[in-house]
Amino acid sequence: MQEERKILYSAVQPTNNLTIGNYIGAVSNWVNLQSQYDCVFAIANMHAITVRQNPAELRKNTLSLLALYIACGIDPQKCVLYLQSHVPAHAELAWVLNTFTYVGEMERMTQFKDKSAKHADNINMGLMDYPVLMAADILLYRADVVPVGVDQRQHLEITRDIAVRFNNIYSPTFTVPEGLYMKVGAKIGDLLEPSKKMSKSAENANGSVFLSDDRDTIIRKFRRAVTDSEACVKYDPENKPGVSNLLSIYSVFSGQSIEECERRFEGKGYGDFKLAVGEVVADKLAPIQTEQAKLLADKAYLDGVLKDGAERAARRANRTLSKVYKKIGFYQL
């Protein structure tokens, strides 16, 4: 039974704070997927350095993200949870895959173009190679499915292209992964500009609610969220993007359907509605934050999780890498 489960792979970069958008779109879904799939989750610190990082902060964010994963309900016993740089096979396979990837393909990637514009003083090779490293992540673990946001669709497509290309030149080696594009919460909007995705790195931090925000901050941010002049709590993303965004958030955090939420706020003003959204989010995050703090105080435990995760991940990754080395003609001892 255990062996028949499909393999699921995903990763998050340990940069900045996660927002409730990341929570809804990624981490909380992963928690639900754990029992269904054979899950492998990584903290992608090798991807993170494609833009300049402060070393002390990167180190701190790594543990903090690990503790957060566990606090949210990712069970290191049930899945493989590890840090990307602890498994050398990622860099090794990425190198091989580089020789099956065309420069033109990488130059056309939307995220590369966006990030090049944003970091014009540091358009490094790693930034351009980001998708190949991501392909290596996914292909090493023979992932069947990869849950990602729609912003990662192009990366998944190139992963599939590279896998198929390699398989066609040699013989079936890689599993060609399917994207699992999350519907709910896939696009939680910014509270101040709901048409934009809530981002870890938005210019105005008041539009994003972070998992690390305290209760007062959360309530204050929701109180300032933009709505409209209709005074009617209805789900209509076209015409009422602000209110619809808040309804989605309320729905996910309360576990009620959108219709149930609409009924609940029928006849209520936006003030009451926004306060209720803030409260439901704060109530849900409080125990997670407490648990995260508790875990962060136990560094030996977290180190143990990483050590165990790295060993289990490496074992799986090295099997694939060794197969690849054999096929391409690397002399093996």
d(CA 90, CA 318): 9
Asked if residue 115 binds ligand TRP (CB under 6 A), the reply is: no
Question: What stretches of 141-257 show up as alpha helix (H) in DSSP?
Answer: 153-169, 215-223, 241-254
Binding of ligand TRP at residue 152 (CB under 6 A)? yes
Indicate whether 44 belongs to the interface with ligand TRP (CB under 6 A).
yes
Beta carbon of residue 276, minimum distance to ligand TRP (angstroms, whole number)? 30
Question: Coil, helix or strand for 294?
Answer: helix
Q: Any idea which residues carry the catalytic annotation?
A: 115, 197, 200
In whole angstroms, give the CA distance from residue 273 to residue 32. Answer: 28
Q: Which stretch binds ligand TRP (CB under 6 A): 75-83, 112-120, 132-140, 264-272?
A: 132-140
Do residues 211 and 20 touch, judged by C-beta distance below 8 A? yes
Counting contacts by CB under 6 A, is residue 134 touching ligand TRP?
yes
Q: Which residue in the set 79, 93, 138, 288 belongs to the binding site for ligand TRP (CB under 6 A)?
A: 138
What number of other Cβ atoms are within 10 A of residue 216's Cβ? 10
Distance (Å, rounded) from C-alpha 60 to C-alpha 192? 29
Options 69-77, 130-138, 194-202, 312-320: segment touching ligand TRP (CB under 6 A): 130-138
Q: How far apart are CA 333 and CA 238, in angstroms?
A: 62
Instruction: In angstroms, give the least distance from the CB of 145 to ligand TRP.
Output: 10
Residue 10 Cβ vs ligand TRP, minimum distance, rounded to whole Å: 5
Run of H or E including 148: strand 145-148
Residue where the block lists tokens 């013989």: 171
10 binds ligand TRP (CB under 6 A): yes
Asked if 148 interacts with ligand TRP (CB under 6 A), we say: yes
Q: Which residue has the closest beta carbon to ligand TRP? A: 11
Binding site for ligand TRP (CB under 6 A): 9-13, 44, 47, 134, 137-138, 146, 148, 152
